[in-house]
Structure 1
Amino acid sequence: MTGKTNLGLGKALALGGMLLAAASVRATEPDLPPAYRPSRPVTGTIRSWGHGFLRPMMKLWEEGFQKYHPGVRFKDKLVTSAAAMAGLYTQRADLGVLAREITPPEVAAYEKMVRQKLTPVTVLTGSYGNQDKIMALGIFVNQDNPVSRLTFAQLDAIWGAEHKRGAKANIRTWDQLGATGEWSGQAIHPYSGLAFEAPAYFFSQTVMKGSVLWNEALRQCENDEDEVPSRGDEKVTPKITRHVDAYQKVVDAVGADRQGIGLAGAGYRNPHAKLVALAVEEGEPFVEATGENVANLSYPLARPVRFYINKGSTVPANPDVIEFLRFILSREGQALVAREGDFLALPAAVAREELAKLE
């Protein structure tokens, strides 16, 4: 009786071990978006208007989609994000391709012209540190600075002056952030790219809650570059020779200025400057500006990339466009993002949420 009991126990333990091992394997497998399964054949022409720096990514998606739908054709006019909404509300484009955040006047113009809500679709995550590819933003201080963490309310009071996040006063000296000793009374020197460009606009909308009343001491850096414009139907990106990158200037300035604080791409580096961790609200966890945290969208200044489509009662969705977006958001479509080299694939949960919106 005892031998039989031990044999049964041994089998049970072995089976339990196998189940635990299987569960462990499943736990370590990457969470991926669903695989693409065509729901209908596509043979029409899909027209895209927007920014040229998304052209290489679009080319990868278009070629990947054509493997499933060899009859589909693409007509791209990728010159500038400013053209995207006009293409949609005149119905000369099926996809609005933006390389920045959309502005309230663009949304208002679309809704006035079309008389329906604009439909955004998040398709990937912006880069870690390429200013032309919707880069995540990082906050840098000098390596000697004792400050290592900041909340959005503190950033708002440092960079702005309206205090829309509830600060009682401007923050203009380092002791207001808890720095003591030699830092007491030392002025904060803020640096950024040009305040009217997309990164600073994103910061003002996200951190400063739409305020554009910047710190009066803001030191703005700009690119030293030459640009050769390209037509939107060319197969190459606009040719820009950038001699000095504005955001590298920012990080270098902070590295040389012990009182400096900089707003730049999270992926930029200077050996004498460091990134600070951020929290949206007091009491929430502070998140480091790592590549991993940008990719999984836990870092609060990561920037999702959104395309825009017609999808309403006035101008209904084009079924071919919906099918193309289903491919973009699929496992195969997001795998192509890694081949592009700068943009980041969406977390699987976000891809699934966006797919559900297309239904």
Structure 2
Amino acid sequence: MLPQEARDGVGQEAFVPPAYAPAPLDLPHELAASGWPDGVLPLIGNDGMDTVIGPLCELFCQAYPGLSFTLSLRGSATAMPALVAGASWFAPMSRDPWTEDTQAYRRARGHDPWALRLGYTGHGPRTSARTPPAMYVHASNPLAGATLAQLARVFTRGAAGGELSTWGQLGLEGAWRARRIHVYGMRDTKYARGLRHRHFAGLPYAARYEALPSREDVIRAVAQDPYGIGAVGWVQAASISDQVRVLALAGEPGRPFETPDLATIASGGYPLKAWVSLFLDLAPGQAVPALLREFGRLALSREGQRIIAARTHEDEGYVPLCERDWRAQLRRLG
């Protein structure tokens, strides 16, 4: 069960997975198959996940004596190169790989990395921590929300239905109706490129898209422009300006608009949510090796999800999986 402070704001009793029960394994055989027959398993990846991966490794070593881990958690940028090089048993990340990393991995391996989702990364807005990826508008903007399909037509060119260039096309009336939408974002690398590939069908950004050097610059631009909209990843917007707000989003037309508040994230909602993940080097159709499957089962167990829940109100803001997503990930393990 989530600690009380992690349940505050969720609005419903949290799903509690079953406790972990280790499966019997032929450990020498599994270690030989893994490529690390000495039982020392290296892990390279996100630095913010040390408070999750470290405790999970300790529990796993208790379940399977004779194992040990070497952790080199220096940042998500190290995860995919290490997985490609065969230098990491799996790659822990608190976001999905950038498009550039996925493309490099695909060139090297001929397929995409395989992801097991353990939880969600971040919730907000919070005054003391970064908000997950979001769209920001000026505080005075009355727009209730937008769908991802609408945003694709605002931010990119070539989307079905044509470009949306005025606030009236998004439903605003009065003085807002004829005003042009001023579009801000990051340079077309890393987060900005990942956003359009993941959510905007890989379409190129529109000519009116103004690429700025930093997340802070995007927030400042929207704060100074009532007719602006900005797309950024993790940022502590409240520390930059109180003249912006997070725009509620819907993944599909007809769905309710959502922000990344704790209750929404804990229920598996919000179309731009990020994931706490373990990335594996598995070819399509390849079964998860038994030892890796057991680590995944531990991470999805009651004990593993409690470790994630204990970080909900820390800087990274990790949130355990809702029951629907938990069952989907357990099925993926096989």
Q: Secondary structure at the match of 1:218?
A: strand
Structure 2 residue matching 1:47: 3-state secondary structure:
strand
CA displacement 1:64-122 (0-9 Å, x = unmatched): 33343443211233344444344334433210233432356655655665567743211
In the other structure, the counterpart of 1:251 is 219
Q: 1:201 to 1:32 in 2, by over 3 A?
A: farther
Does the 8 A contact of 1:49 with 1:97 survive in 2? Answer: yes
Query: Which residue of structure 2 lines up, in the alignment, with residue 171 of structure 1?
Result: 164
How far off is 1:149 after superposition?
A: 1.5
Match of 2:135 in 1: 139
Decide whether the 8 Å contact of 1:116 with 1:314 is kept in 2: no
Equivalent residue number for residue 88 of structure 2: 93
- Tell me if the contact between 1:128 and 1:267 (Cα under 8 Å) persists in the aligned partners: no
Q: CA deviation at 1:311?
A: 4.0
Structure 1 unaligned segments of length 5 or more: list them.
Answer: 1-27, 223-245
Shift of 1:139: 1.8
Aligned twin of 1:352: 327
CA contact (8 A) 1:126 1:303 kept: yes
CA shift, 1:336, in A, is 0.6
Instruction: Give matches, 1:307-322, under 5 Å.
Output: 307-311=278-282, 317-322=288-293
Contact 2:99 2:194 in 1 (8 A): no
Out of 43, 47, 63, the residue aligned to residue 52 of structure 1 is 47
Q: 1:184 to 1:309 in 2, by over 3 A?
A: closer
Partner of residue 119, structure 1: 114
Change beyond 3 A, Cα 1:278–1:116: closer
Identify which of 171, 178, 181 aligns with 1:188.
181
Quick one: distance in 2 between partners of 1:124 and 1:304?
6
Q: Which residue of 2 aligns with 1:292?
A: 263
Letter in 2 for 1:206: R
- Superimposed CA distance per residue, residues 8-27 of structure 1 (whole angstroms, 9 cap, x where no aligned partner): xxxxxxxxxxxxxxxxxxxx
Q: Assess, with a 3 A threshold, how the Cα gap between structure 1 residues 254 and 47 changes in structure 2: closer, same or farther.
A: same
Which residue matches 1:32? 16
Amino acid at match of 2:145: R
Structure 1's 67 and 339: CA in aligned 2 closer, same or farther, altered over 3 A? farther
Q: How many residues are aligned here?
A: 303
> Which digits, 9 at most, give the CA deviation of each residue in 1:206-241, with x for residues without a partner?
33111233443424241xxxxxxxxxxxxxxxxxxx
What TM-score do you get using the length of structure 2 for normalisation?
0.77
| Cα distance change on mapping 1:69 and 1:135 into 2, 3 Å | farther
> Residue 139 of structure 1 contacts residue 266 of structure 1 at CA under 8 Å; is this kept in 2?
no
**Larger Cα-atom Rg:** 1
Amino acid at match of 1:292: A
Distance 1:294 1:82, change over 3 A: same
- What RMSD, in angstroms, separates the aligned Cα atoms of the two structures? 3.3
Could you say which residue in structure 1 is the equivalent of 2:149?
Answer: 153
Query: Which residue of 276, 295, 305 maps to 1:324?
Result: 295
Give 1:325 shift.
Answer: 1.5
Does the C-alpha gap of structure 1 residues 339 and 96 become closer, same or farther in structure 2, counting only changes over 3 Å? Answer: same
Partner Cα distance (1:350, 1:196) in 2 = 29
